[in-house]
């Protein structure tokens, strides 16, 4: 089980680390109000999700199933069930809203750079929504991490 725990922790570091850094990266880029910097940051967010967030999720899922087995599986202990629910909720938000929004933000930023214009109102409105749902999708796995560390009896 030691290797699975190491894989699980490494996946968590990749996943949570990247989703936190992604928000900071976009926030700092936005502060410049420079479409070129924001376009670059948007590209990097997409690339970093592919390179770090995705593999982190994969490592968490595979090792998590194995690690939950001695506890009776993912429904065997309340803290595992709650942690999985929070993780799944974060994933749903990520897939349903954040990824499509990121793709649109990238396109809008590229259009602004190509035309030499400022970022559109649509871009700024979508980015505000992206920040909100990104915060929701970040708090959920952090809460999941807390549950995995503290292992409380919830019900």
What pLDDT does residue 1 have?
77
Q: Can you give the pTM of this predicted structure?
A: 0.86
Q: Which residue has the tokens 């592919």?
A: 50
Question: How remote is the C-alpha of 94 from its chain's centroid?
Answer: 7
Q: What is the pLDDT of residue 85?
A: 97
In this prediction, residue 4 carries a pLDDT of: 96
CB 35 within 8 A of CB 109: yes
Is 56 buried (19+), middle (13-18) or exposed (0-12) by CB count in 10 A?
A: buried
Residue 93's alpha-carbon distances to 16, 41, 86, 133, 136, in angstroms, are: 15, 21, 11, 7, 8
- Output the pLDDT for position 56: 95
3-state secondary structure 107-146: HHHHHHHHHCCCCCHHHHHHHHHHHHHHHHHHHHHHHHHH
Please report, for residues 12, 40, 108, 149, the alpha-carbon distance to residue 52 in angstroms, rounded to integers and kept in the order given.
10, 18, 24, 22
Q: What is the pLDDT of residue 46?
A: 87
Over the chain (155 residues), the average pLDDT of each successive run of 10 is 94 95 93 94 91 95 94 92 96 94 94 95 96 96 96 93
């Amino acid at each position: 089980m030691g290797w699975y725990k190491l894989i699980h922790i490494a996946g968590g570091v990749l996943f949570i680390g990247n989703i936190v850094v992604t928000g900071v990266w976009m926030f700092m880029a936005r502060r410049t109000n420079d479409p070129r910097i924001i376009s670059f940051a948007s590209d990097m967010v997409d690339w970093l999700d592919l390179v770090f967030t995705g593999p982190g999720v994969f490592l968490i899922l595979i090792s998590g199933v194995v690690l939950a087995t001695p506890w009776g599986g993912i429904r065997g202990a309340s803290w595992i069930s709650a942690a999985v629910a929070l993780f799944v909720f974060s994933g749903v938000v990520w897939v349903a809203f954040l990824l499509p929004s990121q793709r649109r933000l990238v396109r809008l930023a590229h259009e602004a750079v190509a035309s030499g214009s400022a970022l559109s109102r649509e871009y700024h409105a979508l980015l505000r929504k992206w920040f909100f749902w990104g915060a929701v999708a970040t708090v959920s796995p952090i809460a999941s991490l807390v549950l995995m560390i503290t292992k409380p009896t919830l019900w």
